[in-house]
Structure 1
Amino acid sequence: MGRIELLTELRRLTFKIIIHIFLGASSTSVMEALEKEYTKLNYGMRALRIDLPGFAFPKAFKARKNLVSIFQNVVNERRKEKLENPNKTTKDMLDQLIDAEDENGRKLADDEVIDIMIMYLNVGHESSGHTTMWATLILQQHPQYFQKAKQEQEEIVKRRPANQKGMTMKEYRQMDFLSKAIDETMRYITFSLMTFREAKRDVKLNGFLIPKGWKVFVCYRAIHQDPQVYPNPRIFDPSRFDISMFSNTNFWLAIGVNGLCLFSC
C-alpha cells in the first residue's frame, strides 16, 4: 500500500471545501492559485520576522498581495455577473458579502470583502484540517468510539432516498455522536493553545481586579486539562458532551469562546 501525508491531504480537502463555500463552483485554476499563495502566507504568519529576501516573512507579504489580486479579479467578475443576472437565486459567501449592508444602507467595499475572505480562509481552513486529522487518529485508537461513529453514518446513509445526491443539512444534524467525538477531540488536543487580550476598562473577575490596559493571557489547554472541570481529562470520552453530563459549555474553549474562533468574533 502507498503512503500519504495525512495532514497535507486533509488541508487540501478542507481548502477545497472552504473555497467552495466562498466562491461556489470556482475554476480549478483559481483554486490552485489561491492555495499556492495561501500556503506561503500561512508559513509566513508563523515565521520569525526576518525581512530579508528568501525568508518566509517577506514571502508572506508578497503572497498576501497576490491573494488580494486574485480575489479582486473574482469580485470584479462576480459584480459583473450580478449586473447581468440580478435575479440569481443561489448564493455563496461572496454573494452574501457583496449584498450585505448595515443599518444605514452602506455596503462593503471591495477591499473589505477581500479582507474578510482572507481572514476566514485562514481561521476556517487551518483548524479544520488539524481537527480532522486528530479526530481520525484518535478514533482509530479507540475502536469502540470509531464503530459507534461508523454505525451512525451507515444508518444515515441507509435512510437516504435513492434519488438524493450528496449530504443534506438534515443528515448533518443527525450526526449526534460524531459531533460529540469532534468536540471531545478539540478539547483533548486543544488545537489553539492560547490567546492574548487587553483589558479596555477595569474588569472585576472572580474577586480579582484586572486594571485597564493590562494584558491577559488565557491558556486553553490548562482549562481543558483541569480535572475540576473535566474529570479524568487525559481520557478521551465523547460522552462528556452529553447534555446530562456536560451542559455548561463555558469551559469549552476549542478555538475561542464556546468553540467559536476568537478571530471571527
Structure 2
Amino acid sequence: MMWALSILASLLLIGITRWIYRWRNPKCNGILPPGSMALPLLGETLQFLKSNITSDIPHFVKERARKYGPIFKTSLFGQSVIVSTDAELNHFVFQQEGQLFQSSYPDTFNEILGRQNIGSLHGYMHKYIKNMILTFVGHEALKKMLPEIEQVTCKKLELWSTQASVELKDATAGMIFDFTAKKLISHDSEKSSENIREYFDAFIRGLISLPLNIPGTAYHNCLKGRERAMKMLKNMLNERRKTQRKNPSDFFDYVLRELQKEGSILTEEIALDLIFSMLFASFETTSLALTLAIKFLSDYPSALKRLTEEHEGILRNREVSDSGLTWEEYRSMTYTFQFINETARLANIAPVLFRKALEDTQFKGYTIPAGWEVVICPPAVHLNPDIYEDPLVFNPSRWEGSETSNASKHFMAFGGGMRLCSGTDFAKLEIAVFIHCLITKFRWNKIGRGDAIRSPGLQFPNGYHIQLAPKETA
C-alpha cells in the first residue's frame, strides 16, 4: 500500500513539475520576447497591481523594460501577455485592429462593464455602436450642450464657494454624473429618491483588480454595484416601452427607437451595457483628469497665469461680457488645449490598453502568438525622455506649434486607431468650460497635500480639497 501511495505522489509531483515548466516555457512558433511568466495562473498580477506614488512609468513596467527590453512577456490576470513600451509596436497594433489584433480585456473588465460593452464588440457592430454614441457626444451635440454645461458648472462653483472646503474629485464626479445622467436617462438627482451614482462609485478600484468575488473586495463591490444599476436600467427600459414618446427626449429614448426598428442588429443586452458604460465612463475618468488639472494649476503659477490671460481675453473681446461661452470662443482656447493635453499626458488615466493577437504575428524578430494579449502601456511612451524632454515636468508649452490631436504614435491618452475614445471631445469640453468658469469668477486655495497615487490607475486616496471664494470678495 505504501509503495502505491509513493508512486502516486511521485506521479503527481512529476505532473505538477511538468505543468509549471510548460507554464514558464510556453510553446511558440518563433521567438517569444524575454520575460518571466512567474507563478501559474497568478503570474505577476500582484506586482502589477502594486501602488505607485510617483508620476513616473509604473515600477512594474519600468523595472522589467530595463531588464528585458521594451517588449517583454509575462502573465496577468491568468492570461499570457506581451507588454509593449515600444511606440512602434503600439502604433502597429492600433493600425492592425480587426486584422491581426482586436480589442480584448480581462474578465474583470467584462464582468463589470458587461459582456457586450463597446470594448468587447468588433467589426460592424462596434462601428454601429460608436456612431450611436456620437449622436450624443459628436460636435453638433456638443455645440448644443455648451451653454448648459457652462450654466451647470458656474452654478456648482457658486454653491461650493459657500462651503468651508470641497473635495474636488468627488464634487466634480457628482456634477458630471448628474449632467450626463440627465442627458442619457433623464435622471434628476435633486428630485429622485434613488442615488444611482453610488452604484458606480467603487468601479475604478474594481476594474483592474484580482477577480475575487468575496464580500469586502473591490471586485465584489463592483459586481454588486453593477447588479443594482442594471436592474434599475432594465426597469427603466420596460417603463419606456409602456409609455413611448413620439419625440426622443434623451439618449435612452433614441436607443429604444433603435431597438424597435425592424431588422435592428441592436439587442437589449448591448443597449443596456451601452447605457451602463456611458454613465460610468462619462464621469469617472473626466473627474480624475479635472482634479489633476486643478492640482497642476495650484502647483504651477505660470500655467495659471497664461490660462487666466487667455480666458480673461475672451471676456474682454465680447460685446457683452456675461453673454456666455460660444463655440467659436471655445475653439479659440489654444493654450487651454495645450494644458489639457499635457494634463492627459501626465495623468495616464488608462494605464494599460489590451489587444488580443488573432494570429501569430512577427515584430522586430519576436513572435506574438495567436491568442496572447498585447498590453500597451501609454505611460511608458508619454514619459519616455527620448520622446518628451524632461517628461516628468508639467509643461503645456511643449505642445506649442504642434497639432493638438487626440491621438498619435506618441500620444495615446485617449486611445488610438479605430478605438479612439468616443467621449474625448466631451471630456475636453467639460474640462475647458470648468477651467473657464473657475479662473474667471473664482479664487481658490488648496487644503492639505492632495497626493495622487497610481494603483495602477490614477487615484487621490485622501481626496483633493480646496476652498473657493468669488473673485469679487476674495
1:186 match: 344
1:171 Cα deviation from its structure 2 partner: 3.6
Q: Give structure 2 stretches of 5+ with no counterpart.
A: 1-162, 425-474
Q: What one-letter code is carried by the residue in structure 1 that aligns with 2:415?
A: G
Q: Distance in 1 between matches of 2:404 and 2:315?
A: 29
Q: What one-letter code is carried by the residue in structure 2 that aligns with 1:58?
A: H
Q: Distance in 2 between matches of 1:71 and 1:103?
A: 20
Across the two proteins, how many residue pairs are aligned to each other? Answer: 260
1:173 Cα deviation from its structure 2 partner: 2.2
1:218 match: 376
Aligned identity (percent) is 27
Contact 1:256 1:262 in 2 (8 A): no
Q: Distance in 2 between matches of 1:174 and 1:212?
A: 46
1:116 Cα deviation from its structure 2 partner: 0.5
Question: Greater helix percent: which structure?
Answer: 1
1:26 Cα deviation from its structure 2 partner: 3.4
Contact 2:282 2:423 in 1 (8 A): no
Query: For 1:133-181, what per-residue CA distance to the aligned partner results, in whole angstroms no more than 9, with x for missing partners?
Result: 0001102222222122223233334556759875444443232221221
SS in 1 for 2:355: strand
Query: For 1:67-126, what per-residue CA distance to the aligned partner results, in whole angstroms no more than 9, with x for missing partners?
Result: 112122333344445x3x4145xx533233233479984053333221101112222221
1:9 Cα deviation from its structure 2 partner: 1.4
TM-score normalised by L of structure 1: 0.79
One of 252, 255, 259 as aligned partner of 1:97: 255
More divergent stretch after superposition (122-131 vs 154-163): 154-163
Q: Distance in 1 between matches of 2:331 and 2:404?
A: 19
Contact 1:127 1:191 in 2 (8 A): yes
Q: Does 2:237 match 1:75?
A: yes
Q: What one-letter code is carried by the residue in structure 2 that aligns with 1:215?
A: E
Residue pairs, 1:53-72, within 5 angstroms: 53-72=215-234
1:58 Cα deviation from its structure 2 partner: 3.3
Q: Distance in 2 between matches of 1:29 and 1:54?
A: 31
Which structure has the bigger radius of gyration?
Answer: 2
Q: Distance in 1 between matches of 2:195 and 2:286?
A: 20
Q: Does 2:199 match 1:37?
A: yes
1:210 Cα deviation from its structure 2 partner: 2.4
Q: Distance in 2 between matches of 1:245 and 1:6?
A: 30
Q: Does 2:307 match 1:145?
A: no
2:23 match: none
1:4 match: 166
Q: Distance in 1 between matches of 2:306 and 2:224?
A: 47
Q: Distance in 2 between matches of 1:12 and 1:114?
A: 22
Q: What one-letter code is carried by the residue in structure 1 that aligns with 2:397?
A: S
| Structure with the larger RCO, 1 or 2 (CA within 8 Å, 6+ apart) | 2
Contact 1:190 1:221 in 2 (8 A): yes
- Distance verdict in 2 for CA 1:41–1:162, change over 3 Å: same
- Distance verdict in 2 for CA 1:21–1:217, change over 3 Å: same
Q: Distance in 2 between matches of 1:165 and 1:30?
A: 32
What CA RMSD, in Å, does the superposition of the two structures yield over aligned residues?
3.5
Query: For 1:17-56, what per-residue CA distance to the aligned partner results, in whole angstroms no more than 9, with x for missing partners?
Result: 3213313463535485211222255554455444334544
Q: Does 2:353 match 1:195?
A: yes
